[in-house]
Amino acid sequence: MEKKNFILVDSLNMFFRAKHVGNGKDIDMRVGMAMHIMFNSVKKAWKDFDGSHVIFCLEGRSWRKDFYTPYKANRKVTRDKRSPREMEDDELFFEAYNDFVEYLDTKSNCSVIRQPNAEADDLIATWIQQHPEDNHIIISTDSDFYQLLAPNVIQFNGTTDQIVSLEGFKSAKTGEYIIDKKTGEPKKAIDPEFVLFEKCVRGDSSDNVFSAYPGARLKGSKNKTGITEAYRDRITGGFNYNNFMLQRWVDHEEQEHRVVDDFERNRILIDLTAQPDEVKAECKARIDEAVGKEPISQVGIHFMKFCSKWNLQRMSNTPNDYAEFLNGQIR
């Protein structure tokens, strides 16, 4: 059976990252720019990687909030600090985003998947697990997906035009390796297992996931094991691994923590293959529903109407460039 090339879109991530590209411009122009970036990112991935089908993954209320109360609690603090103008802009952006999603779901042959208690990350990871023989191109700016990189999985950042794979970081325009400004050398390739291990140790401040070992260094010293040494020793469970994991520390509330316990908590939160069984089953069910969707006809006409509604004149001048991926049924 011929391998398929699935384009997996982290929808909300890309739409709202695109919003910030147009900072300083009026809201209508920024919405238009976000639409252009979304459509053109998918179009580029479709053409560059010979796409077979596009899957837009949406956000639900994450099961992680029930597992770990602080999860993303910092987002509410940020939202509460918005000015009235920022709140109005966000409302208009969500209105545009919801209309964009409804259009894709009802007027195109792309798959649109949402699970009420899961995040887009969960759906993307589950899709990949369900299609192990196929190729996958993740469109997102989120480094959380680095853990999923594999010979058949790459990530395309549509806002920076970068491709991340096991080979390293490349420009999507030129195919040349991205140079690290600090070293003057090509940016180091990702080790997905190490990325996940380090993140479980350090936590994730953007998601309000606390560190399992505050102050842990990448490389150890004579008297203290570092993250790298513990990682290398993880398979055999030798001295360095155990010395690292069995360390204890006390937080600002005088509560004692053991690294191994907080590491395991973080692994469940961060490892995109570690969802509870019921969440995995529900994600698989939503994917099966999307795959069984009835084909949509007159996709090109629907696209032109959507462009007219949102004044996407530049895209409406070359509708065939977009109709191909919008009409790409899963086979």
The number of angstroms, rounded, from the C-alpha of 40 to the middle of its chain's C-alpha atoms is 18
What sign for the dihedral angle of Cα 245, 149, 61, 206?
Answer: positive
Q: Residue 26 carries which side chain, given as an amino acid letter?
A: D
Residue given tokens 């147009």 in the structure block: 22
**Class of the domain covering 5-188+273-326:** alpha beta
Rounded Cα gap, residues 293 and 204, in angstroms: 36
Is the domain 192-270 a CATH 1.10.150 member? yes
Q: Which two tokens stand for residue 310?
A: 């949102």
Q: What is the pTM of this model?
A: 0.94
pLDDT score, position 254: 94
Q: Which two tokens stand for residue 328?
A: 């790409």
pLDDT digits (tens, 9 = 90+) for 225-252: 999 999 999 999 999 999 999 999 999 9
pLDDT digits (tens, 9 = 90+) for 62-79: 999 999 999 999 988 888
Q: Domain map of the chain by residue range? A: 5-188+273-326, 192-270
CA angle in degrees (0–180, nearest 5) for 146-147-153 = 70
